[in-house]
Structure 1
Amino acid sequence: MADKVASLTDIISRHVPEDGLHPSALPGVQLARASAPTLPMPVVYQPTLCMIAQGRKRVVLGGKDILYDPASFLVASVDLPIMGSVVTATADEPYLSLQIALDPEVLSDLVLKFPSLDDADAPVEEGLQLHTTSPALFDATHRLVALLDTPDDIEALAPLIMREILYRLMTDKSSGPTIRQMARDGSRLNQISRAILWIRTQFHEACPIDDAAEIAGMSRSSFHAHFKAITSMTPIEFRTRLRLQEAQRLMVGKALDAASAGFRVGYESPSQFSRDYARIFGMPPARHASQLRDKIVARNDMAMTG
């Protein structure tokens, strides 16, 4: 497997010569590179498989802190607001990774063709999970990414290999129960996923919990319990996280002042926005955004002169 890790590293490095997250010629696949450790930055993971070829990354969801490397893979089964940072990377040995979108139609078809009844009543799984990478999964992933070197083969072979990757995830003893729950219309995971999608479109508004529970098809108490089990947050905490991450993006990327950013994401009270922001990020929003902008500029300057 070491040879294939080295080969995957080489392929990604050649096809992603610059730092950042980049779309690839492979449908549903993005490639990432970082030549130095990065600042923790907010992002919303959609249902995704994340694998690393070189380096290490930390992701934080609520109070859950996950550190992973090429020996493991990360699965997000629902949309989740996380903080992500590359922790191991150098110019000579950059962080290199890939993200593969989990196609719900293919998953549903696989579950129908290869049913498994032993986990039909399995407990609700966490929405962000770390698993050990099996040789079979890594081999399929390597063959998928290797198609970048033979682009004429992508249209014919990529869907087949992608299907194999999803099959490997579905039949894996650790990741399988969650993947199968994703494909079942009536599963608790799918019910919560529907509510999450609604909250993502409505987080600027009040988002009444009763409305979200109704969309999920659950009682208020059941919805609250299952939501927290999957996301590590209450529905209100989830909405707050979405608001604060979007506000940070507006302040850092769009140079909005703190009051304007807070109002834009749904806060009526600037003081409440500042309190919530400081509780999550450790300092007031304006000062934190200024520090992040300064660090980003300094890092970009180092990259240009290095």
Structure 2
Amino acid sequence: MFTYEGANALELAGLVGKIAQTDGDYDTAIRALKLRRCSFTTDPMPCIYGLSLALIVQGGKRILLGDEVFDYAAGQTLITTVDMPVVAYITRASATEPFLGMLLALDARVIAQLSAELEFATPLQDSATRGMSQVQLDEGLCDALTRLVRLLEEPSLVSSLAPLIEQEIVIRLLNGGHGPSLRRLVAAGSPSQQIAKVVTWLKQHYTEDLAMNDLAALAHMSPSTFRQHFRALVGMSPLQYVKNLRLLDARQLMLNERLDAGSAAIRVGYESASQFSREYSRLFGEPPNRDVKKMREATSRKHEK
């Protein structure tokens, strides 16, 4: 039985560490692949996880999705099939053994194409299940991911070989423990696919006034069935999902465009500044102005080092 340890772990950690030599997030020559290094544990940070495969190469992390807790460590993979507002933080990292992670963005069109071409031993159940799944890394997937990172050492071959290895990775995911979640996402007319379409629409229209009946109609479901499937896939109600999107966007507007809290609230669709402040504090742990000030100060200290 394959276990992620010894030579396998050392090789992949060495390859990632060679690129990510200091703390931070790293884009790579492979557009879909990002790497991360962090030498300290972090505070909980609300963020959005998109359609992707994440692997912890070294260290540990915790993710909160609604009321659910996902603890995962080196050698464990996490698939997200729709955009998920989560709270994430690194729980195991040090200067001598930093957190090392890799994130591979997945393409729904590639998943759909390969899923249609493959034959599966078990039929797919017609139900929406959580859009986030956690599975232990297997030998074949470990080998493919290692070859993908190693390919960065041969820049002239990246454009021709990376797409082939990425396809192999998707095929292995479809045939492994993550397979049912990915297959439901692309199965025509499935509840997961219908909810995923609504999630995509919400990302573009979350600042607008939204009626539950209209969202349900978009998914071709009754309001009660829509709420049930939405919560099953996303881990929270449609209202809470929209609220999180608005608050995350407002935070970025205050940080990047230096908007005040009232202006940011209006921009993302809030009519009440006091309601915005209450819900912001509930999600981020601080009132808007205090939270943004702390983040700017933390960024300044990081740049001074």
TM-score normalised according to structure 2 size = 0.92
Report the Cα distance in structure 2 between the residues aligned to 1:26 and 1:282, rounded to whole angstroms: 36
Q: Which residue of 2 aligns with 1:202?
A: 205
Report the Cα distance in structure 1 between the residues aligned to 2:34 and 2:75, rounded to whole angstroms: 19
Report the 3-state secondary structure (helix = DSSP H, G, I; strand = E; otherwise coil) of the residue aligned with 1:165: helix
Q: Does 1:153 align with 2:148?
A: no
Q: Tell me if the contact between 1:108 and 1:183 (Cα under 8 Å) persists in the aligned partners.
A: yes
1:265, distance to aligned residue in structure 2 (A): 1.2
Report the 3-state secondary structure (helix = DSSP H, G, I; strand = E; otherwise coil) of the residue aligned with 1:59: strand
Distance 1:299 1:39, change over 3 A: farther
Q: Does 1:142 align with 2:157?
A: no
Q: Tell me if the contact between 2:127 and 2:192 (Cα under 8 Å) persists in the aligned partners.
A: no
Report the Cα distance in structure 2 between the residues aligned to 1:104 and 1:264, rounded to whole angstroms: 30
Q: Tell me if the contact between 1:198 and 1:212 (Cα under 8 Å) persists in the aligned partners.
A: no
Q: Tell me if the contact between 1:277 and 1:284 (Cα under 8 Å) persists in the aligned partners.
A: yes
1:208, distance to aligned residue in structure 2 (A): 2.0
Q: Tell me if the contact between 2:84 and 2:234 (Cα under 8 Å) persists in the aligned partners.
A: yes
Q: Which residue of 2 aligns with 1:280?
A: 283
Superposed CA RMSD in Å reads 1.9
Q: Which residue of 2 aligns with 1:78?
A: 82
Q: Tell me if the contact between 1:119 and 1:177 (Cα under 8 Å) persists in the aligned partners.
A: no
Report the Cα distance in structure 1 between the residues aligned to 2:148 and 2:282, rounded to whole angstroms: 42
Distance 1:252 1:78, change over 3 A: same
1:226, distance to aligned residue in structure 2 (A): 0.3
Q: Tell me if the contact between 1:54 and 1:69 (Cα under 8 Å) persists in the aligned partners.
A: yes
1:269, distance to aligned residue in structure 2 (A): 0.7
- Partner residue of 1:124 out of 120, 124, 128: 128
Report the Cα distance in structure 2 between the residues aligned to 1:185 and 1:123, rounded to whole angstroms: 12
Map residues 6-85 of structure 1 onto 2, 5 A cutoff.
Answer: 6-85=10-89
- Aligned partner letter, 1:53: V
Q: Does 1:234 align with 2:234?
A: no
- Partner residue of 1:181 out of 177, 180, 184: 184
- Aligned partner letter, 1:224: R
1:264, distance to aligned residue in structure 2 (A): 1.7
Q: Tell me if the contact between 2:48 and 2:85 (Cα under 8 Å) persists in the aligned partners.
A: yes
1:93, distance to aligned residue in structure 2 (A): 2.3
- Aligned partner letter, 1:217: H
Report the Cα distance in structure 2 between the residues aligned to 1:117 and 1:5, rounded to whole angstroms: 31
Q: Which residue of 2 aligns with 1:92?
A: 96
Q: Tell me if the contact between 1:61 and 1:81 (Cα under 8 Å) persists in the aligned partners.
A: yes
Distance 1:91 1:253, change over 3 A: farther
Give deviations 1:73-103, integer Å, cap 9, x for gaps. 1100111122222222223322211111112
Q: Which residue of 1 aligns with 2:223?
A: 220
Q: Tell me if the contact between 2:46 and 2:283 (Cα under 8 Å) persists in the aligned partners.
A: no
Q: Tell me if the contact between 2:133 and 2:181 (Cα under 8 Å) persists in the aligned partners.
A: no
- Aligned partner letter, 1:48: S
1:122, distance to aligned residue in structure 2 (A): 4.3
Q: Tell me if the contact between 1:50 and 1:74 (Cα under 8 Å) persists in the aligned partners.
A: yes
1:293, distance to aligned residue in structure 2 (A): 3.0
1:221, distance to aligned residue in structure 2 (A): 1.3
Give deviations 1:232-262, integer Å, cap 9, x for gaps. 1110000001111112223344433222221
Report the Cα distance in structure 1 between the residues aligned to 2:224 and 2:123, rounded to whole angstroms: 24
- Aligned partner letter, 2:262: A
Q: Does 1:4 align with 2:8?
A: yes
- Aligned partner letter, 2:49: Y
Report the Cα distance in structure 2 between the residues aligned to 1:246 and 1:24, rounded to whole angstroms: 26
- Aligned partner letter, 1:285: P
Aligned length: 301
- Aligned partner letter, 1:165: I
Residue identity over aligned pairs, in percent, reads 35
Report the Cα distance in structure 2 between the residues aligned to 1:39 and 1:248, rounded to whole angstroms: 16
Report the Cα distance in structure 1 between the residues aligned to 2:26 and 2:214, rounded to whole angstroms: 37
Segments of structure 2 that go 5 or more residues without pairing to the other structure are none
TM-score normalised according to structure 1 size = 0.91
Report the 3-state secondary structure (helix = DSSP H, G, I; strand = E; otherwise coil) of the residue aligned with 2:26: strand
